[in-house]
């Protein structure tokens, strides 16, 4: 067989963020999955950080939007353009070879949605495109030995989806994917502030509240922050103070949905593997699992210890890198090429 040099890229194609991993270099790109499109000429103006700056701040003829919805492709053409941009940016402009690309997809995707991802990647310039389910990649990235005959539970909470899976012998034994994660939490916070303080706030502000003072369980020593927005009645700018426990109340329903997903998977797990999970605990990955006290909430509701993986937001991206290095070993987990 002739040796062909083709660069390898791992892409964590998230609803809110796209991470690109190059084996040997690590994560070379970490940008929001936002694309700004000019409606008049129907062309793409900016991708990633540049486009995110525009969200909520654009004139009428430019719209900034996310082509990925709940972890799957909502707008095919724009996703392809976004992938092309990221692949080019990650490889540098002098690269002449088409890369082998591995892309993460949520555990619950249909074969049609999966094909769309492969097609978009191939059209965007990939020589080969492999698709792997997120929980498997998250587990590899979190350093879990997935090939053992032992049950490991992984909970990957991103922007659009919460993926819960039990993995044993390199495959998924039981899993579920709910379309309730970081974005839904942000929206709940915005709705709460609107209802209780008559203040309209944007997505960015809601996300900031979650990161600065959010928590999954009520705390004794509350953190507070000033929240700025537009008064719903007068239409003028105004700010109010918000405390941690108010945020806990605001996001209760969303957290219950996530916990229910974990419970559902635990209930489907064969007894032998359930015993392993009690020993090993639950591993949490993904950016939104960084919410304060989330492992504590999981423990209170399920009785199983939960811990945060190291570098939780980057586990899936690191997993793609690992899997690319050892393509042969992970062949079973890899779904399709074309």
- What is the 3-state secondary structure of 83-110? HHHHHHHHHCCCCCCCCEEEEEECCCCC
Q: Any idea which of 34-38, 200-204, 334-338 has the lowest mean pLDDT? A: 334-338
Amino acid 112: pLDDT? 84
Q: How many structural domains are present in the chain?
A: 2
- Report helix, strand or coil for 166: strand
Q: Are residues 155 and 289 in the same domain?
A: yes
Q: Is residue 25 part of a domain?
A: yes
Q: In this predicted model, what pLDDT tens digit does every residue of 62-93 receive, in sequence order?
A: 787 777 777 677 777 888 888 888 888 888 87
Q: Are residues 132 and 150 in the same domain?
A: no
Q: Are residues 168 and 123 in the same domain?
A: no
Instruction: Give residues with Cβ within 8 angstroms of 24, minimum separation 6.
Output: none
Give the pLDDT band (50/70/90) at residue 316: very high
Q: Are residues 154 and 275 in the same domain?
A: yes
Amino acid 5: pLDDT? 65
Burial 28-62 (b: 16+ CB within 10 A, else e): bbbbbbbbbbeeeeeebbbbbeebbebbeebeeeb
Q: In this predicted model, what pLDDT tens digit does every residue of 93-148 receive, in sequence order?
A: 777 788 889 988 887 778 888 888 888 889 888 888 888 888 999 999 999 998 88
pLDDT over 90 for what percent of the chain? 50
Give the pLDDT band (50/70/90) at residue 2: very low
Residue 315 pLDDT > 90, yes or no? yes
Amino acid 338: pLDDT? 42
In Å, how far from its chain's centre is CA 42? 28
Residue ranges making up the domain that contains 85: 8-136+316-325
Give the global pTM.
0.87
Q: In this predicted model, what pLDDT tens digit does every residue of 12-41 receive, in sequence order?
A: 888 888 899 988 888 888 988 888 888 777
Q: Is residue 210 part of a domain?
A: yes
What is the average per-residue pLDDT within 253-282? 95
CA atoms of 174 and 115, how far apart (whole Å): 22
Q: Is residue 266 part of a domain?
A: yes
Q: Are residues 159 and 205 in the same domain?
A: yes
Q: Tokens 């190059």 identify what position?
A: 22
What is the average per-residue pLDDT within 283-292? 94
Question: Residue 231 is encoded by which pair of tokens?
Answer: 């008064």
> Would you say 293 and 215 are in contact if contact means Cβ atoms under 8 Å apart?
yes
Question: Which is more confidently placed, 39 or 301?
Answer: 301
Residue 335 pLDDT > 60, yes or no? no
**Strand duo 237-243 + 171-178: pairing:** unpaired
Amino acid 333: pLDDT? 61
Q: Are residues 71 and 128 in the same domain?
A: yes
What is the average per-residue pLDDT within 234-243? 94
Q: Is residue 338 part of a domain?
A: no
Crossing angle of helices 134-141 and 315-325, rounded to 10°: 90
Average pLDDT, the chain: 88
**Strand duo 237-243 + 282-285: pairing:** unpaired
Q: Are residues 277 and 156 in the same domain?
A: yes
Q: Is residue 331 part of a domain?
A: no
CATH of the domain at 197: 3.30.420.40
Amino acid 337: pLDDT? 47
Q: Is residue 2 part of a domain?
A: no
Q: Are residues 112 and 148 in the same domain?
A: no
Give the pLDDT band (50/70/90) at residue 47: confident
Q: Is residue 38 part of a domain?
A: yes
**Strand duo 8-13 + 100-105: pairing:** parallel
Q: Are residues 28 and 173 in the same domain?
A: no
Give the pLDDT band (50/70/90) at residue 255: very high
Question: Residue 215 is encoded by which pair of tokens?
Answer: 């928590």
Q: Are residues 71 and 168 in the same domain?
A: no
Question: Which is more confidently placed, 1 or 172?
Answer: 172
Give the pLDDT band (50/70/90) at residue 3: very low
Give one DSSP letter per residue of 40-88, joined into a string. Answer: TTTEEEEETHHHHHHTT---TTEEEE-SEETTEES-HHHHHHHHHHHHH
Helices in the chain by DSSP H: which ranges? 49-54, 76-91, 111-123, 134-141, 182-197, 203-213, 244-250, 252-268, 271-280, 294-302, 315-325
Q: In this predicted model, what pLDDT tens digit does every residue of 159-193 receive, in sequence order?
A: 888 999 999 988 899 999 998 999 999 999 999 99
Amino acid 94: pLDDT? 72
């Amino acid at each position: 067989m002739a040796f062909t040099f083709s660069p390898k890229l791992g892409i964590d194609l998230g609803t809110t963020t796209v991470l690109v991993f190059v084996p040997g270099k690590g994560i070379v790109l970490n940008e929001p999955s936002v694309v700004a499109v000019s409606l008049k000429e129907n062309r793409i103006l900016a991708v990633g950080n540049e486009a995110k700056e525009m969200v909520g701040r654009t004139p009428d003829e430019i719209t900034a939007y996310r082509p990925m919805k709940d972890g799957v492709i909502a707008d095919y053409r724009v996703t392809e353009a976004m992938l092309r941009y990221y692949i080019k940016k990650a490889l540098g402009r002098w690269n002449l070879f088409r890369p082998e690309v591995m892309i993460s997809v949520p555990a619950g995707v249909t074969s049609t949605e999966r094909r769309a991802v492969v097609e978009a990647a191939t059209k965007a310039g990939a020589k080969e495109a492999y698709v792997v389910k997120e929980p498997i990649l998250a587990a590899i990235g979190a350093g879990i030995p997935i090939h053992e005959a032992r049950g490991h539970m992984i909970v990957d909470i991103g922007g659009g989806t919460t993926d819960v899976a039990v993995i044993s012998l390199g495959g998924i034994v039981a899993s579920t994917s709910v379309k309730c994660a970081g974005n839904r939490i942000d929206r709940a916070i915005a709705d709460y502030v609107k209802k209780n303080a008559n203040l309209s706030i944007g997505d960015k502000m809601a996300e900031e509240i979650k990161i600065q003072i959010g928590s999954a369980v009520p705390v004794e020593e509350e953190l507070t922050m000033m929240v700025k927005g537009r008064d719903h009645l007068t239409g003028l700018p105004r700010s109010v103070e918000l405390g941690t426990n108010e945020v806990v109340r605001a996001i209760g329903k969303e957290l219950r949905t996530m916990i229910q997903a974990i419970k559902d998977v635990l209930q489907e797990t064969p007894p032998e593997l359930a015993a392993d999970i009690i020993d090993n605990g639950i591993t949490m990955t993904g950016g939104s699992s960084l919410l304060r006290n989330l492992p504590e909430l999981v423990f209170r509701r399920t009785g199983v210890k939960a811990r945060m993986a190291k570098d939780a937001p980057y586990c899936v991206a690191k997993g793609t890198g690992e899997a690319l290095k050892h393509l042969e070993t992970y062949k079973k987990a890899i779904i399709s090429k074309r």
